[in-house]
Structures are given as structure tokens and as C-alpha cells.
Chains A and B, each alone.
Chain A
Amino acid sequence: MSGLRAIETTVNGRRYRRSVEPRLLLSDFLRQELGLTGTHVGCEHGVCGACTVLVDGHSVRACLMFAIQCDGAAIETVEGLGTPASLSPLQESFRANHGLQCGFCTPGILMTCVDLLRKHPTASREEIREGLSGNLCRCTGYEHIVAAVEALIRREGGQE
């Protein structure tokens, strides 16, 4: 298509320089250019929230942004939260409360929760439900996700 554009972004604290097509979606950039396949693509039209990442501290749908819009931005993805051997408190709470089944929507939900907890560390049950209403999960029926976030707020004061 059109010519390549050079961009520089920071993803989970690491700096990347790439030349990309202007039309390249942020979700495809993360998955295909950087190999960060933890960010999942569920609908590509901004409804399901599976691709949610943080850009400069705010949750966004990576399928509704172009990579070049992130030139100079700091991006956080699920890979930055914790590792299998050392899960973050939020991830541990999801595991303890069975807040995931197939795990496909989970990365987007975790990133939404990170944003929610940073901005509303004492969110109520209703506020958690409201905060999650932009993320679709088809397996859990949401209740155990809400319980995971609630338990974390109770136990760790919302430190994700």
C-alpha cells in the first residue's frame, strides 16, 4: 500500500523502533511485529474488548488504533503484568477466584481492570461491573471476574 512510516514506542518498558504501514492496526503491530501475542483480537470493531491495552496509562482498544498513532507513546500489555512463575496480585486473584475459563478475553479484561484499579482503587461491586461492561466474556458469566477484582480490593487495597 502506501509508504512505510518510522515509529518509536515503549512497550512494557522496552523501546521498539519499527517502520510500518500507516494502516497497520496497533493490535497487529503488537502481535505480528513485536511477537506480543498475549493481546488477543476478538472482533476488530471495538466491541468485545479482548485487545484492550494501556496507552500512556489509559485503556484503549488496540483494534481501533493504528500503530502510527502510538509513535512516542508508552504501551502496557498483559505480558508486562507478571510471568507464569510470578503472577501479579491481580492475576493471582483471577486464578484463586476462577475468573477465567478459556482465557481468550482474559488479557483484555486484566488490562481493563488495571486501568480501573489505578483510577478507582476502592471500586464497589457495582462499579466493577460497570467498569467491566465494555469487555465481553463468553465463558465465565462474569461473576467470578467481579469476585476476583473485589477480593483484590479487599485484600490488597486494589494494588494490582
Chain B
Amino acid sequence: MNEHPPLLADRADTVARDRRPRRVGSRVKRFEDPRLLSGRGSFTDDKAPPHALHVAFRRSDQSHARIVDIDTGAAAEMPGVVAVFTAEDLGDIAPVRATSRMKNYHATSLFPLARHKVRYVGEPVVAVVAESRYCAEDALEHLDVQYRPLPGVVDPEAAAEGDAPLLHEEAGTNVLVERVFARDDADAEMAAAAVRVGGRFRMRRKTPMAIEGRSYLAEYDGGRNLLTLTSSTQIPGIIRDLLAELLDVPAHGIRVVAPDVGGGFGGKGSLYQEELLVALLARRLDQPVRWTSDRLEDLISTSQAFDEIVTAELGVDAEGRLLALTAEVLGDIGAYSIYPWTGALEPVQVASFLPGPYRLQAYRGRTRAVCTSKAPTGPYRGVGRPISTFVIERLIDMAARRLGLDPAEMRRRNLVAPDEFPYRTASGIVWDQSCFTESLEAALDGVRYGELRAMQAKARAEGRLYGIGIASYAELTGIGTRISAAPGMPINTGTEQSTIRLDSTGSVTAAFGVASHGQGLETTLAQVVADELGCDINDVRIVQGDSAAVAHGTGTYASRSAVLGGGAATLASRDLKAKILRVAAFVLDAPVEELEAYDGQISRTGTNRSLSFKDIARAVYVDVGRLPPDLREEMQSTRVYDPFVGTATSATHICTLEIDPRTYKVTLDRFFVAEDCGRIINPMIVDGQVQGAVAQGIGAALFEEVVYDGEGQILTASLADYVVPTAANVPAVEIVHLEASSPQTLGGFRGMGEGGTIGAPAAIANALADALSHLDVDINELPVTPERLFRLIENAKAEET
């Protein structure tokens, strides 16, 4: 405890002793920006090693079919073609299986190229390797692949039936996982409820759609038996460890580097067949091999998300207090149980987060993950919680309406109150204290809720379709070893480490296993190091996104990097600082307790005597006679941070919108977020994350939908058909930050990259229902495209007459 005093005491102490500005909490301009703004960034496809070969894939045009024959002869003869591969040519490679300790779970076997069968349109079947991408793509036209169609496994409800055709015969079922969460007798409580509301909710399939498509480059140094994979991945450490296992080589023979990565949002957070194949072929051909997806490939083969059907019922008493919740969740996870997260990732989180930030005793939620012949789903910003929040927030509003309560009052009566933390939800999640009720009040104040309702009444009197929607939610972030990032997954996602060193010139290098892809970790982690070590922030270089940088690390996902990376940085910085101060104490002939390090200078309080970090480095490394040998320590520290349970992040979103009754276009008017992400490292970056995540939530609510037809053909394979928000669709998000209490995480940070996408769909759905309340329209399916809105309104009008 002496080494790491309680956070609040630590901070109070700091403030009292030192009023100089700290880097944490400041709008530090990003170190990444100059290179990214000047076209000097280094994305995977920017690397151009000489003599690199290009891969192009012939992908399945069948949803579910047996591969009868593949004729590669003509393609192999094409000019520039070096080799053509099918699954048969890769017979010695073991399948990738995402295992789990969960009961009732079936893993699936994934090979670099489809073997015997194809399971979705877009699955890679044949790989052509050529001297240029143009040549490789030309040759694809000369391949002849014969299929025998198999019965469709397209509709998730049909696929979950016992007699459905099987996608993975060895599993014996299409239901790859089933899990029940239950507390108390939900049926009895439901029967006693004064009001029961329910429905069948559906959140359609979407895709992450990072602007940079997936890209991989593998280089093999045969002389050293060293394989370097440059990958647009969020999880270099996980990919490194998997490749080591599959190729049966020590991990020091494989280096996975994620250079600048052009957005991920979860879509680059899993292993891909193309990634594996590029690595295998570079070794086999002893030549660099590369592949960069085009947008068609991205839209049909990058991991998709959501696609959940939730049948739920909520019972409340006459005062609006929640009594019971029941839910049946069916998640359509697509063709494979994705590595490493498994197909349980989203459906299980939908069920486990469904009780939301509310006081609710009785719950029964059953969830099933069913595989279908569509692209695999995987992690996507918010994972499960955009759906659970959509459902519970709709139910809350529906119940409020039945009781004649204002939606704000309904939440006020049910949110877990400040004196009830830690609170164990009905599904077993433990919320540590966060601004549940405070965020509701702050958002209501922020939008001037009373005036807003008055304005709405006026708009309605004029016949306008104007709605106000509220959504409150909480999420677990920065989770440690107590719980896994994905249920039952045998990978440690609960720790990160940092190695920080002072070199012989006095500059500082801090290495991490996290992997930034837009979050600005090279800046925020440097802020933490500068404060904790006392060095000049401009002397810090952050190394991240490189599996060789630390012994173990997984990457950046699940709102973890500020908490886990920041925690590891804090511990290692404090260690290194202690060593530096010991040297300074000797040189300055002063007790350590009287020294302080700030902005690269170590000074003795109350004197003008000081040393620079450069002086320290010189004393330790260069002027060898200056220090006694036992003080010439290794000026480096590696520390691992485990936040154990992690922490809760919470927010309330309020939006207002108007529906154009002629075009059914929805225009968002205001969007307000009151959130608690704990201590803020960089307010500019936090605001950017909120604004950006809300934009993706707007996409999920109003625009974005991957559509497969009844035959399993994908209909949204271009950006003309898959519609994402533009600058004209996204309003300026008004943001208020709250920090009521300090979480147990080191530094007081809470994760916050995903929240905007969690709250926005629910707030927008509630605002749409509010705008159409005179028609009593159910908003239970997202996205609410103009076409869906048209049908909803027309149907409601038809029922009225």
C-alpha cells in the first residue's frame, strides 16, 4: 500500500505539493498527427518490399455448397502467375478453432481456404499468387470451380430447429452455444406485475466498415527462420501466438507488426483466413507475399455484427418499479465461431447486459448462438450492448407510456442509486460506482428537458413529427483477469504490460502490447508516462502494435487500452522513477524524499539545484566512474497491470429528431451525451471518441444494414448499397463529462471507446417512437431506414382506419 497509495489520497497529495500543470487531463496535441496529416503515415499497404508477390482470392459465390471440382490449370498458365493454391495444397495445416470453457459450446474448424465445403458467399476458395495484383486478379477469371449446392442455412430461426440442415456436421447442431442467466422466479414476479410490456426486437446485421480495408504483408527471412507479418490488425499479440502454435515455431521466430491501422471498430480484431494464408505462403514461396482487400471483399468477408432477435417482456409495478424481465435471445453468428472470441461473444453479452443499469431482482434470459451460411460475425464496437440497451430502453419507454409516466421519471425511479453500489445485476455483473443517476440528471439539465417537451408540444400542434429519446446504459470496461473479454475464452485478455527505459541520451522509450488504430495511444500513453516519470513528454516515444515489443500482450479492443496500458505505464514509470531518483540523490547529495521530477528535470525542493534526465543517463551509462557500481542499475522497468474486475462506464444519451412525412427522412436535431469515463487523460481525444462512436450508433439506428436474400446471396456488397453516415447526417454531439467517484483502476481511468455506439441506437429508437406516439408505432427493428419507416407509418394508419 505504501508503494501505491489509494488514488484519491495520491491525487490530493499531488495537488497540494505541485500546482504545475500535468499532462494527464490536458488537450495535448497528438504525436501521430504530423505524419498522418502529411501523407507520411505507414499503413500496411504502403510498405513495398521488392519482389513482393500479390495474392488474389477466388471466393465462393455459393452460400452453402460442396466443392466438387477445382480446375486451376488455365489460371496457372497466365502470364505473371507464380502459383495457385487450393485447400488440398495446404493439407498439412491444422484448423483454427476458437475454444471455450463454456458448457454447451461447439467450436468450428477454419482452414485458410475452404475445404470440401463453402459456408458463405465470399469465403476464400482458391488463392492465386502473381507478380502483380493486376495479374493475380486477371487469373481469377480463368479458374473453374464446380459446386453442388447444399440446402440453405440462411434464416436463423429455421437454422436453430432440430431438423435443419447442418452447416458444421461435426457439431451435430447449428446452435453453437446456449446459455441461461437467471435470478429469482421471473415468471412469478411477472405474473404479479401491474403492467407488462414486451415484444420481438430485431437488430439487423451490420459491418464495421473501417475506411482502410484489411491488409497483410508477410516477409520470411529463411536464413534466420524469422517470419514478419505486417497486418492491419488490432490484436498483433494474439495473432503472433496463434501463428507460433499453428506453424510449430517459437514465438521469437514470428513478429506481427500492426503499423498505422486505418480504423478497426472490432472488424480487425479477429484472425482471418487471408492473414493466415499470406503468412503460410511467404514461408512456402520464400518471398514476400501481400494482400489488400478491396471494398467488395471487405463488405462480404470482414467480420460482421449484431443480427440478433430478442423476444423480451418486462413487468413493472403500479409505480413503475421494475419487477421482472424475461428474454429469449437468438444471435445469428454467421458461418464460423470466430477466433479467438467465439460466436458466443455477442449473443451472451446481449443476455448478460439486458438488465442494464437498473435495479431489477428477477430475470431469466436464455441466449442461443446459431450459425448460418453468412459471413462470420465478430466483435464490433459495443459488442452485444447496443442490442441489449435498445431492448431494455424500449421496454422502459413502453412501460412508462402505459403508466403515463415521463420516460425520464421512469428511469429516475429505477436506475441504481449512488448508495447502492457495488450493485450485482440479475445476470451477475457487478457495477462499481459510476454516474448512473447523475448522468440522467446532467443530460436532462443539459438539453433543458422541460423546455424541450414544451417545444415538442408546439411542434406537434403544427403537425410536425418531432421526437425526444432518452437512453441510459452502463458497460464493463478495462476488465482484468477476473472475467474474460469473451465468455470462457482460454486467452488472457486481463493484463497488459509495459517496458519503459531511459537510454544513454536521456530519452525514454515505452513499449506496450496494445495496438492503436485511431485512438491516439501514442499520445495518451505518453501523457501518463510523462506525469508518472516526470520526464519531458517530447522525449517519450511510445512503441505499440508490435508483438516483439513486449513478452506478452494482446492488443486493443473492448475499451481496455487506456485502463490496462495506462495502468502498466503507471507502474513501470514509478519503478523507473525510483531508480532515477536514487541516482539523482547520490549526485545531488540529497535525500530521495526531497527530490521531484518534472518535465525532464529532477530538482531538490526549495533549492535551485537540479539535474536533467540527460545528466542522469550520462552518469549511469557514460561517466562510469561517477556512480558506485550498485547505483548503475538497469534504467528500465517492466510491469504488468491487471485491473482484476475492471470498472463500469456509464452514460445517458438524449436526442431529438424530426421525421419528414413526405420523404421519411429522419433528421437528428440535437444529440446530448452525459457520461462518466472516470479521470480523463486527454479531453480532446475523449470528445472525439464520443462523437465518432455516436456517429456509428446513428449508422446502426438509421442507415447501416447488411442484407442477405433468402438464398444467402449478399445484396449489400458496395458502398452504394451499404449506407454509412456522411457529414450531412451527423450532428455536433454535445458532451458533458462527469466524475462522481474514483474507480479502483490505477489512475482512475475508465474505458470509453465504445459507449457512443451503445447508447445512440436506443436513444434514436425511443425518439422515433416518441415522434410517432400518436400512431402507437412499435420501433422494434433497427435500422429504421426510410423504407421501414414508411411501412410502419402506413401500416399504423391502415389499422387506425
Chain A interface residues toward B at CB < 8 A: 1, 21, 23-24, 31-32, 35-45, 47-48, 50, 77-79, 81-85, 87, 91, 94-96, 98, 100-107, 110, 128-130, 132-146
Contacts and interface: CB of A to CB of B under 8 A. Distances in A.
A106 B36 contact: yes
Contacts of B11: none
Given A84-B38, A104-B212, A136 B134 contact: no
A38 B40 contact: yes
B210 A102 contact: yes
A42 B695 contact: no
15 contacts: A1-B138, A31-B45, A37-B43, A37-B46, A45-B720, A94-B33, A101-B519, A101-B520, A102-B211, A103-B41, A104-B43, A106-B36, A129-B728, A137-B727, A143-B730
Nearest to A45: B718
Contact of A141 (B48, B210, B730): B730
Indicate the member of A36, A83, A101, A135 with the most B CB atoms within 10 Å: A101
B488 interface: no
A143 B732 contact: yes
B25 to A, nearest CB: 16
Interface string B283-315: 000000000001100000000000000000000
Nearest to B79: A1
Nearest to B689: A101
Given A37-B39, A43-B719, 11 more contacts: A42-B213, A43-B294, A48-B211, A77-B39, A78-B39, A101-B520, A103-B32, A133-B727, A138-B209, A138-B265, A145-B727
Contact of B34 (A47, A85, A107, A134): A85
B724 A82 contact: no
A102 B728 contact: no
Contact of B733 (A43, A45, A81, A143): A143
A139 B261 CA distance: 12
A1 to B, nearest CB: 7
A79 B35 CA distance: 10
A133 B726 contact: yes
B543 interface: no
Nearest to A24: B134
B556 to A, nearest CB: 12
Contact of B211 (A50, A143, A146): A50
A103 B36 contact: yes
B719 A141 contact: no
A96 B37 contact: no
B695 A141 contact: yes
A78 B256 CA distance: 29
A136 to B, nearest CB: 6
Main secondary structure of the interface of B (DSSP, over half): loop
B38 A141 contact: no
A98 B30 contact: yes
Interface of B: 29-30, 32-41, 43, 45-46, 48, 134, 138, 209-213, 260-263, 265, 294-295, 517-520, 684-685, 687-688, 691-696, 718-720, 724-728, 730-733, 756
A138 B722 CA distance: 14
Contacts of B732: 143, 146
Contact of A130 (B48, B519, B728): B728
Contact of B691 (A38, A132, A140): A140
Given A95-B34, A136-B726, A23 B692 contact: no
Contacts of A37: 39, 43, 45-46, 48
- A82, A100, A110 — most chain B CB neighbours (10 Å): A100
A3 B737 CA distance: 62
Contacts of B720: 45, 47
Given A40-B212, A45-B718, A143-B732, A98 B687 contact: yes
Contacts of A137: 211, 727
Given A82-B37, A138-B209, A47 B719 contact: yes
A21 B35 contact: no
Nearest to A91: B37
B37 A44 contact: no
Given A37-B39, A95-B33, A98-B30, A44 B211 contact: no
A96 B688 CA distance: 12
A72 to B, nearest CB: 24
Most chain B beta-carbon contacts within 10 A, residue among A50, A87, A98: A98
Nearest to B298: A43
A87 B39 contact: no
Given A45-B719, A77-B39, A82-B38, A139 B263 contact: yes
Output the residue of A23, A40, A107 with the most chain B CB within 10 A: A40
B498 to A, nearest CB: 23
A71 B295 CA distance: 28
